[in-house]
């Protein structure tokens, strides 16, 4: 009973910054032995976690006693956790929400809601090195089963053999190390998130101030009131913000994940080549839901750094934690050009950056920037190569259904709807039989060496019309990507097709040497990238019926769209054998 009373007294003792008192001040006569004894006691006290109350400065030796103390005062932390079904990060927000209210002297809401915890500012610890956050794994389970199991374990442990105790100690030590890594990753993610948030706030304020100053100057000059200056992120970079916001919703990620050609190619390469990933540091750019990062972690990566500017990063973080991989994967929110990585160099960059006609969205620019800054000289890009293709097509049925349709809509002529109908590059899944000429490769990109300036280009191509070419109605563009084990792979050439490259080793080697590549073209399984269909505007260009075996050649130009930094203009120049050269431009915005 005396021991229990002593413990109770310790629990209710308020935390003080200084422990001196009148009697302590007069203790100059203490012996050196007493000083050593006090030092030993202080060292023992430092080893024990100091759990500070959520409601005041009282200090407790463990989480349970602190939570019971708070519950007696009307704050049932565990009940809030269970009611809101909070995960690891939700609990951190709850702790910091309560501590911030206490620190501000504000009243804690009678019923804390999920809306109270939405702000990411509550990921930042109110207390430095808050021991309560370190001890989240020690919280009682939501049912009584956890307590009963703990009691049973304690009773069993009382008479357990030394070997069992040693094993139990090793398991606890491993768990502690895992939690330490998890907490380190959490702190890093919090720092990055808040740094980006505060920088954005500062930029918004600066932009607003400049805008107001400009407006004031204009008013002073003209004597007329001016329109209010734009404020916020949209004023800074509306096009890019819209791009990133489009990836914040589930629909687009569901589409990409269900694209088995895409997702399984990444999975197969990573899992079949675990020797490349084991013990390595991997950077995942545009991580989305975190699927590629989790593949890499499962393959044995030492650390995976997942970066995304979109709000989807918050869900990726939860996915990673829910799958027990937060000790390996750290998530950073922001553009790759702006975040600060926890390492100087990475061994592998994995990214699913590809867009329509390969380069639409201009995400490869950011990947190449990261490659030049972070990838080691012998590092690997995943995927490693891309090949772009073009072919003439015969599309009479498509034109009848989607172009001529407007000339007779339930008996009405809606010709005006055809205005500009030929100027867009249409993203469609087209059957192989519409291709009426040999496919021509016009660009092989090695992602280890290609430069940003190489992504706007003019390339030559040549094709031959097939025997079944009934008409020439346009061009079809698509691409293949390759996943090579080595930085240099001479088997991938400008005319290499993905399916043929994979087939060369199929059934002839083990999993590790099996090649991985895929096509988005009409001769493969459809993907969410589809193909780029460029229909000829025959009101402006003159086209005759192609003859079997007739040659056709020209150039294709990839141009960055004006006023649309992530868009493309595709300009094709061509001349069939015996005919004059013609040109048309299509927009992919």
Say which residue the tokens 């339930």 belong to.
410
CA dihedral 136, 140, 142, 144 (to 10 degrees): 170
Q: Peptide bond preceding 383: is omega within 30 degrees of 0, i.e. cis?
A: yes
Residue 162 scores a pLDDT above 80:
no
- In tens, the pLDDT along 456-480 reads 999 999 999 999 899 999 999 999 9
- In tens, the pLDDT along 101-126 reads 998 989 999 999 999 998 888 988 88
Cα–Cα dist 217/211, whole Å: 10
Model confidence at 48, pLDDT cuts 50, 70, 90, reads low
**Percentage above 70 pLDDT, the chain:** 74
Please, which residues bridge with residue 409 across strands?
Answer: 412
E strand or H helix that includes residue 457: strand 457-464
Inter-residue contact 482 to 387 (CB < 8 Å): yes
Which of 59-68, 134-143, 349-358, 408-417 has the lowest average pLDDT? 134-143
Q: In sequence order, which residues have a C-beta less than 8 Å from that of residue 195 and are 6 or more positions away?
A: 340
Cα–Cα dist 163/312, whole Å: 46
Hey, what are 65's tokens? 């006693």
pLDDT for 480 equals 99
**Inter-axis angle of helices 88-104 and 312-322, nearest 10:** 120
E strand or H helix that includes residue 483: strand 474-483
Write out the residue limits of the CATH 2.70.160.11 domain(s) in the chain: 385-588
Mean pLDDT computed over 333-347: 96
Cα–Cα dist 492/451, whole Å: 19
The separation between the first and the last C-alpha atoms of the chain, rounded to the nearest angstrom, is: 77
Mean pLDDT computed over 140-167: 57
Residue 407 scores a pLDDT above 70:
yes
pLDDT for 437 equals 98
Residue 219 scores a pLDDT above 80:
no
Which of 9-23, 67-81, 233-247, 542-556 has the lowest average pLDDT? 9-23
CA 88 to chain CA mean position, Å: 19
E strand or H helix that includes residue 378: strand 375-382
Across 452-464, b (16+ Cβ under 10 Å) vs e yields: eeebeeebebebb
Higher pLDDT, 167 or 366: 366
Strand, coil or helix: 244: helix
Higher pLDDT, 105 or 195: 105
Q: Strands (DSSP E) along 528-567, which ranges?
A: 531-535, 551-560
What single string gives the DSSP state of each residue in 349-365? EEE---BTTBTTT-HHH
C-alpha atoms less than 13 angstroms from C-alpha of 381 in its C-beta half-sphere? 26
pLDDT for 10 equals 36
Mean pLDDT computed over 421-448: 98
Mean pLDDT computed over 556-577: 93
Model confidence at 435, pLDDT cuts 50, 70, 90, reads very high
- In angstroms and rounded to an integer, the radius of gyration of the C-alpha atoms of the chain is 32
Decide the pairing of beta strands 516-519 and 474-483: antiparallel
> What's the whole-number average pLDDT of the chain?
82
Mean pLDDT computed over 255-280: 97
Residue 398 scores a pLDDT above 60:
yes
Residue 250 scores a pLDDT above 60:
yes
Hey, what are 378's tokens? 């012998």
Mean pLDDT computed over 541-552: 96
CATH code of 242-382, in short, is 3.40.50.150
Model confidence at 545, pLDDT cuts 50, 70, 90, reads very high
Hey, what are 36's tokens? 């050593």
Higher pLDDT, 9 or 350: 350
The CA distances from residue 383 to 238, 285, 373, 551, in Å, are 30, 12, 18, 34
Mean pLDDT computed over 372-394: 99
Mean pLDDT computed over 324-333: 96
Residue 368 scores a pLDDT above 50:
yes
**Inter-axis angle of helices 312-322 and 291-298, nearest 10:** 30
pLDDT for 357 equals 98
Write out the residue limits of the CATH 3.40.50.150 domain(s) in the chain: 242-382
- Domain 385-588 fold is 2.70.160
Higher pLDDT, 238 or 365: 365
Q: In sequence order, which residues have a C-beta less than 8 Å from that of residue 49 and are 6 or more positions away?
A: 61, 62, 131, 134, 135
Model confidence at 150, pLDDT cuts 50, 70, 90, reads very low
pLDDT for 222 equals 34
Residue 379 scores a pLDDT above 80:
yes
pLDDT for 419 equals 95
Burial of 113 (0-12, 13-18, 19+ CB in 10 A): exposed
Cα–Cα dist 328/336, whole Å: 19
- In tens, the pLDDT along 88-99 reads 888 999 999 999
- In tens, the pLDDT along 567-586 reads 999 999 999 999 999 999 99
Inter-residue contact 333 to 193 (CB < 8 Å): yes
Q: Strands (DSSP E) along 160-236, which ranges?
A: none
Model confidence at 177, pLDDT cuts 50, 70, 90, reads low
Inter-residue contact 528 to 520 (CB < 8 Å): no
Model pTM greater than 0.85? no
Residue 195 scores a pLDDT above 80:
no
Report H helices in 73-144.
Answer: 77-84, 88-104, 131-134
pLDDT for 241 equals 60
pLDDT for 240 equals 54
List active site positions: 352, 361
Nearest to 355 by CA among 425, 411, 284, 296: 425
């Amino acid at each position: 009973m005396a021991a229990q009373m002593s413990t109770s007294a310790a629990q209710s003792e308020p935390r003080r910054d200084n422990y001196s008192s009148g009697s302590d001040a007069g203790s100059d006569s203490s012996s050196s032995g007493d000083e050593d004894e006090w030092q030993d006691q202080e060292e023992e006290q430092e080893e024990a976690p100091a759990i500070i109350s959520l409601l005041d400065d009282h200090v407790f030796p463990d989480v349970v006693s602190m939570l019971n103390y708070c519950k007696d005062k009307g704050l049932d932390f565990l009940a809030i956790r269970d009611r809101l079904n909070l995960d690891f990060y939700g609990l951190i927000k709850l702790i910091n929400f309560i501590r911030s209210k206490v620190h501000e002297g504000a009243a804690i809401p009678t019923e804390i809601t999920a809306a109270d915890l939405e702000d990411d500012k509550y990921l930042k610890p109110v207390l430095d090195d808050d021991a309560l956050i370190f001890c989240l794994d020690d919280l009682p389970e939501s049912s009584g089963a956890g307590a009963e199991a703990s009691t049973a374990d304690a009773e069993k442990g009382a008479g357990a053999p030394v070997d069992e105790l040693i094993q139990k100690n090793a398991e606890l030590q491993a768990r502690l190390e895992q939690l330490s890594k998890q907490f380190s990753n959490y702190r890093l993610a919090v720092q990055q998130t808040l740094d980006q948030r505060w920088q954005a706030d500062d930029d918004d304020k600066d932009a607003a101030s400049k805008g107001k100053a400009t407006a004031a100057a204009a008013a002073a000059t003209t004597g007329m009131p001016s329109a209010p200056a734009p404020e916020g992120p949209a004023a800074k970079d509306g096009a890019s913000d819209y791009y990133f916001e489009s990836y914040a919703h589930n629909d687009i990620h569901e589409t990409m994940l269900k694209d088995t050609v895409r997702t399984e190619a990444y999975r197969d390469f990573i899992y079949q080549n675990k020797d490349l990933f084991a013990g390595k540091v991997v950077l995942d750019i545009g991580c989305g839901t975190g699927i590629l990062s989790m593949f890499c972690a499962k393959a044995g990566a030492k650390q995976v750094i997942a970066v995304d500017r979109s709000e989807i990063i918050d869900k990726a973080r939860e996915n990673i934690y829910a799958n027990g991989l937060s000790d390996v994967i750290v998530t950073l929110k922001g553009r790759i050009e702006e975040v600060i990585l926890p390492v100087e160099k990475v061994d592998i960059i994995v990214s699913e950056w590809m867009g329509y006609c390969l380069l639409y969205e201009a995400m490869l620019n950011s990947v190449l920037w990261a490659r030049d800054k972070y990838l080691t000289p012998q590092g690997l890009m995943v995927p490693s190569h891309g090949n772009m293709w073009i072919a003439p097509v015969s599309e009479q049925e498509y034109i009848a259904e989607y172009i001529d349709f407007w000339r007779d809509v339930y008996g009405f002529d809606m010709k005006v709807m055809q205005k500009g109908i030929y100027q867009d590059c249409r993203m469609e899944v087209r059957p192989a039989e519409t291709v009426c000429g040999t496919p021509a490769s016009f660009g092989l990109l090695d992602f280890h060496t290609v430069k940003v300036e190489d992504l706007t280009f003019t390339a030559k191509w040549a094709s031959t019309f097939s025997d079944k070419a009934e008409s020439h109605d346009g061009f079809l563009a698509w691409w293949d990507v390759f996943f090579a084990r080595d930085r240099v792979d001479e088997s991938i050439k400008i005319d290499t097709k993905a399916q043929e490259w994979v087939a060369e080793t199929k059934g002839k080697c083990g999993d590790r040497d099996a090649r991985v590549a895929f096509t988005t073209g009409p001769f493969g399984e459809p993907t969410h990238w589809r193909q780029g269909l460029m229909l000829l505007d025959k009101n402006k260009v003159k086209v005759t019926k192609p003859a079997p075996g007739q040659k056709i050649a020209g150039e294709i130009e990839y141009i960055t769209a004006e006023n649309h930094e992530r868009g493309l203009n595709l300009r094709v120049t061509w001349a069939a054998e015996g005919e004059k050269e013609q040109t048309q431009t299509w927009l992919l915005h």
